[in-house]
Amino acid sequence: MKKILLVLTLLISLSSISYSDNHYPITRDSELMIARGKIAYQNNCASCHQVNLSGAENWKGVDEDGHRKAPPLNGTGHTWHHDDETLHKIIKYGLVGIISDYEGKMAGFGDNLSDKDIDSVLAYIKSFWPDDYYQHQINLSK
């Protein structure tokens, strides 16, 4: 029994090391990952970026508080211009946590979402992108 527990512990440790060291690029190939990402997106992102990923109305402007509005994530904005590692960090830490003079409200979700959840959200978002944008972004992320 102890040997089985030791082997299981070792396998779990190795899988988490493997995941954290080399899991980019994130693809949209897994239906399960996209489904998981959709749930996480709806629970954490849709209130600002909208259920259909269209972003805030007039997203290039500022809101009544003078903050930048949430951009679309469906391929009509600039999300696909960034590599996976950058997008992952933005979701995990927020732009507020990364850029000191950032004029928006994008806070981090690292307390609510695991790294795998964040990657699932990215797979879900990528499932909305046109093929050429998706391929460009995949190449950036390699």
**CATH assignment at residue 75:** 1.10.760.10
Rounded average pLDDT over 67-82: 97
Domain that holds residue 53: 24-141
Reduced to 3 states, what is the DSSP secondary structure of residue 27? coil
In a domain, 103, yes or no: yes
In a domain, 3, yes or no: no
Torsion of CA 118, 123, 126, 127, to 10 degrees: -140
In a domain, 50, yes or no: yes
Kindly indicate the confidence band of residue 104, based on its pLDDT and cuts at 50, 70 and 90.
Answer: confident
Q: Please, what is the average pLDDT of the chain?
A: 88
Rounded average pLDDT over 104-122: 96
Q: Which of 35-44, 85-94, 100-109 has the lowest mean pLDDT?
A: 100-109
**Number of domains forming the structure of the chain:** 1
In a domain, 76, yes or no: yes
Structure tokens at 9: 């512990």
Whether residue 7 has pLDDT greater than 70? no
Whether residue 93 has pLDDT greater than 70? yes
Contact 116, 40 (CB under 8 A): no
Reduced to 3 states, what is the DSSP secondary structure of residue 68? strand
Kindly indicate the confidence band of residue 22, based on its pLDDT and cuts at 50, 70 and 90.
Answer: low
Whether residue 6 has pLDDT greater than 80? no
Whether residue 91 has pLDDT greater than 50? yes
In a domain, 121, yes or no: yes
Distance, CA of 82 to CA of 3 (rounded, Å): 44
Rounded average pLDDT over 109-132: 98
In a domain, 84, yes or no: yes
Q: Which of 8-12, 21-25, 101-105 has the lowest mean pLDDT?
A: 8-12
Whether residue 15 has pLDDT greater than 50? no
